[in-house]
Amino acid sequence: MKRQILIHPDPRLKQVARPVADLNDELRALADDMLETMYDAPGIGLAAPQVAQGVRLIALDCVKEEGEAPRPLIMFNPEITAASDELSTYEEGCLSIPDQYGEVTRPAEVTVRWIDRDGRERSEDMAGLWATCVQHEIDHLDGKLFIDHLKPLRRQMITRKMQKLKRELARG
């Protein structure tokens, strides 16, 4: 089932999400819905707070090459356990901030630990787009958006555009 994606500004996007204590069918259903919502958007990552669920859960698939097999990842309680000194700058966007982009600098490689859909603990080194994306999504779990990495003026400009977009959407 597709879920509605919250648009910035929204107080629910600013909250720190709570860790998942027990994996249950409800949480697995939420994870599946998030993948469906993400692919439909289309996007390469989605965090539970973006669909108004304050739990530490993200979905991502950063395979971008045409014809390459999809690689959907569901991560409960994802954590960065190591990050490279080397940095990488990428022009990021966000499904909660449609059509707005900004350059964000983050560690180029990270090690991520998480609980998968079957409740197993996993760990993986990520680089390139995957590293950028997983850090962007984990930021969401801490109430942080990519525009929080931008200069205040640029952030305010984007926020005003989003307020205008939301007024237009509300009018229908």
Applying CB under 5 A, which residues contact Zn ion? 94
Give me the residue whose beta carbon is nearest to Zn ion.
Answer: 94
For the question of residue 137 being annotated catalytic, the response is yes
State the nearest-atom distance from the C-beta of 43 to Zn ion, in Å: 8
Closest CB to Zn ion among 23 and 93? 93
Rounded distance, CA 72 to CA 35, Å? 7
Catalytic member of 66, 92, 124, 137? 137
Q: And the tokens for 125?
A: 């080194």
State the nearest-atom distance from the C-beta of 49 to Zn ion, in Å: 9
Rounded distance, CA 20 to CA 27, Å? 9
Question: Is residue 136 part of an annotated ligand binding site?
Answer: yes
State the nearest-atom distance from the C-beta of 172 to Zn ion, in Å: 25
Contacts for 145 with CB less than 8 Å, ≥ 6 apart: 8, 13, 94, 96, 97, 139
Closest CB to Zn ion among 73 and 94? 94
Question: Is residue 94 part of an annotated ligand binding site?
Answer: yes
Q: What letter would DSSP give residue 5?
A: P
State the nearest-atom distance from the C-beta of 45 to Zn ion, in Å: 7
Closest CB to Zn ion among 23 and 155? 155
Rounded distance, CA 143 to CA 14, Å? 4
Indicate the residue type of 163. Q
Q: Are 149 and 107 in contact (CB under 8 A)?
A: no
Closest CB to Zn ion among 8 and 27? 8
Of 42, 54, 40, nearest to 1 (Cα)?
40
Instruction: Enumerate the active-site residues.
Output: 137
Residues of the binding site: 94, 136, 140
Residues of the binding site for Fe cation: 94, 136, 140
